[in-house]
Structure 1
Amino acid sequence: MMRSMILCVLLLGGAAARLSAQVRDVSGQRQSFQRAVVHNGKWLTAASVAALIMFAEREHSHSRRDWNALLDICRSAQDACALGPDGRYVRSDAEQLYQRSRSYDRRANRWLIGAQASLLATTALFIIDLHPGEGPGNIPFAPMRVGVRIAF
């Protein structure tokens, strides 16, 4: 009899609903984590925009160097930049400089597309982080009273 009563009490105690103080509320933690990710992520993406633009500038400078070398070859002689029937330069060194210049330009374009995508993400994160309506409430203060009082 005593065993069945203890078993019954244990089962009823386990089936009882939790009190509100016993329930763990993690929604505040989740919101603060998401807010921190957005707040810090916007600066990370902004820094990545700057880094990607620097990489693109480096690739573009390599392209300009090869292009200027190609122009020097073309200016050196009248037929130095003659094109063959397939549309390529007859001189192999001129064709190599042209292809390298195009390759560097394509790589620079890819870096710039990445920078634009990162800039779009940065803009979105800045907008998300604005927190509309969550500023401080109206803080009342004593209005300034200007005037002269004359007691009668």
Structure 2
Amino acid sequence: VVKYGKWLVAAGAVGMNVLAARDHNRAEDVFGALEARCSDDPRLCDLGDGGAYLDPGTEALYQQSVGYDRRARRWLIGGETALLGAAAMFVWELTRKTHRPDNIPFEPEVRSLRNATGVGLRLSF
């Protein structure tokens, strides 16, 4: 599970961060349209007592921008959580005990000697 699951979780993290970037860009585009609307006719951006825009079209653009930002935040939190999970799985795989495979035909042997390094070869039949 850990051997392949870490790659699946890492791919999920990348995917969620890509979706977060997409929704963030959409929020920026909608907010840019809102700013352009306010520049063209400042009366469209008058605020009511509750803090909402009085013009329904302007309020709709603002709510759409906020909605995309919320979605981007959720994707980003999910992506970062998945990234932490993948990192934990990588560390877990590196630290768990594994047995030596039986199919190694030869194993080099290196020893540190006093004035030299010894190199040898061991063959299994």
Q: Establish whether TM, by shorter chain, passes 0.5.
A: yes
Secondary structure (helix, strand or coil) at the match of 1:130 reads: helix
Q: Does 1:76 align with 2:40?
A: yes
Q: How many residues align?
A: 109
Deviation at 1:120, TM superposition (A): 1.2
Give the whole-Å Cα distance in 2 for the aligned partners of 1:109 and 1:78: 30
Q: Helix, strand or coil: the match of 1:85? A: coil
Q: Is 1:139 equivalent to 2:109 in the alignment?
A: yes
5+ residue gaps, structure 2: 101-106, 119-125
5 Å-filtered alignment, 1:1-152, equals: 37-131=1-95, 139-140=109-110, 143=116
Moved over 4 A (4+): 132-138, 141-145
Q: Deviations over 1:71-115 (max 9, x none)?
A: 001111232311012211111111000000000100110101110
Aligned equivalents of 1:138, 1:128: Cα separation in 2: 28
3-state DSSP of counterpart to 1:129? helix
CA distance 1:132–1:101, change in 2 (3 Å):
same
Relative distance call for 1:134 and 1:140 in structure 2 (3 A) is farther
Name stretches of at least 5 consecutive residues in structure 1 with no aligned partner: 1-36, 146-152
Task: Please give the alpha-carbon distance, in whole angstroms, between the structure 2 residues aligned to 1:144 and 1:127.
Answer: 32
Residue in structure 2 matched with residue 32 of structure 1 by the alignment:
none
Cross-structure match for 1:11: none
Q: Quote the Cα distance in structure 2 between the aligned partners of 1:144 and 1:122.
A: 40
AA aligned to 2:109 is: I
- SS of residue paired to 1:88: coil
Identity of aligned residues (%): 36
Q: Residue deviations 1:16-45, cap 9 Å, x none?
A: xxxxxxxxxxxxxxxxxxxxx111111111
Q: 1:144 to 1:79 in 2, by over 3 A?
A: same
Task: Give, as a single letter, the amino acid of the residue that structure 2 aligns with 1:83.
Answer: L
Which range is displaced more, 89-98 or 132-141?
132-141
Aligned-CA RMSD value: 2.5
Decide which structure has greater strand share: 2
